[in-house]
Amino acid sequence: MAITKGAKKAHRASLRKHVFNVRRSRAMREVVKGARAEAGKSREEQNEVLKKAYAAIDKAAKRGVIKKNTASRKKSRLAAFLKKSSAK
């Protein structure tokens, strides 16, 4: 447990930030799952969902919830998955 006054304050701040980070990562995961569920749909519907997924992933990377390369990898894999599923 934190002993000094400054450490206690930092701990409170980290708990507040944790709530935002969890919310942002949960939103990202839900949008990505939704995009994967659109696999059999038309190309236009997939593009709309892909746009939303990209936005959620980029927001998570911007806020430091995930790293930049992780965001890039997620976007690349999602696009490849949708492209492969629409080719069938």
Considering its fold, how many domains does the chain have in total? 1
pLDDT along the chain (88 residues), means of 10: 90 95 95 89 88 95 95 96 80
Domain containing residue 82: CATH number: 1.20.58.110
C-alpha span between 58 and 38 (Å, rounded):
20
- CA-wise closest residue to 41 among 85, 79, 74, 81: 85
Q: 57 near 71, Cβ under 8 Å?
A: yes
Q: Within a 10 A sphere around the Cβ of 81, how many other Cβ atoms?
A: 14
Q: How many residues does the chain have?
A: 88
The predicted pLDDT at position 42 comes to 84
Residue-range definition of the domain harbouring residue 58? 5-87
